[in-house]
A and B are shown apart, each in its own frame.
Chain A
Amino acid sequence: DSGVTQTPKHLITATGQRVTLRCSPRSGDLSVYWYQQSLDQGLQFLIHYYNGEERAKGNILERFSAQQFPDLHSELNLSSLELGDSALYFCASSRDRGKNIQYFGAGTRLSVL
């Protein structure tokens, strides 16, 4: 168990809908990262938050947004969903010092029908 909690494990929804994925980082970790894993794109970095502030953006669509709350949990919001958004979404957290190892949650598998 990595200590990173993601909910829900599975989501099935329809095109055009909006969903929210939730992540609780490991105790003491201030950084949260979101990644998308799809068959065609592989593992892609989406966005990084550190202690409530956005630090870096990757290949994140404008239809997607994220935030990190004062209790350090994070949410990834996906709107106007398309079939191509079907993927495994991971959250990872790290200490941001030393080796800065990112520990991943179990992922949320999103299916857009």
Chain B
Amino acid sequence: AQKITQTQPGMFVQEKEAVTLDCTYDTSDPSYGLFWYKQPSSGEMIFLIYQGSYDQQNATEGRYSLNFQKARKSANLVISASQLGDSAMYFCAIRGFQKLVFGTGTRLLVSP
């Protein structure tokens, strides 16, 4: 079975600074995918970034990058140059058999 652990219930960052949201995972599958989703207060789940277990390079999507450390089983999300609109819940997920398994999420607050 797959498991995701997000140990930071809340994070606080100032506008224009970078922030790292932690995610560790557990799986016995040799091939897996890791995902980050953003959930603003309006409720929708927005896909941000994907990392495959065999990908040689860390994934990047605009201001989002994924710091993938396979040996440590960690997949931290780095948001550079934070914006007020980044305030939201962030969920890390791993693809298990036919489904995504989510962590409990981290609430990020960006202040002016």
Interface, chain A (partner B; CB < 8 A): 2, 33, 35, 42-43, 45, 48, 55-56, 58, 88, 90, 92, 99-107, 109
Say whether, besides A99-B33, A100-B33, A104-B37, A90 and B99 are in contact (CB < 8 Å). Answer: no
The answer to whether A42 touches B104 (Cβ under 8 A) is yes
B30 at interface, CB cutoff 8 A: no
Central interface residue in B42, B45, B91, B101, by most chain A CB within 10 Å: B45
Q: Could you count the A-B residue pairs with CB atoms below 8 Å apart for me: how many are there?
A: 50
B84 at interface, CB cutoff 8 A: no
Chain A residues closer than 8 Å to B102, beta-carbon distance:
42-43
Stretch at the interface among B8-16, B18-26, B46-54, B66-74: B46-54
The answer to whether A107 touches B100 (Cβ under 8 A) is no
Bound state CA distance, A106 and B41, in angstroms?
A: 12
The answer to whether B97 touches A56 (Cβ under 8 A) is yes
Bound state CA distance, A101 and B100, in angstroms?
A: 10
Residue of B nearest to A9 (CB): B43
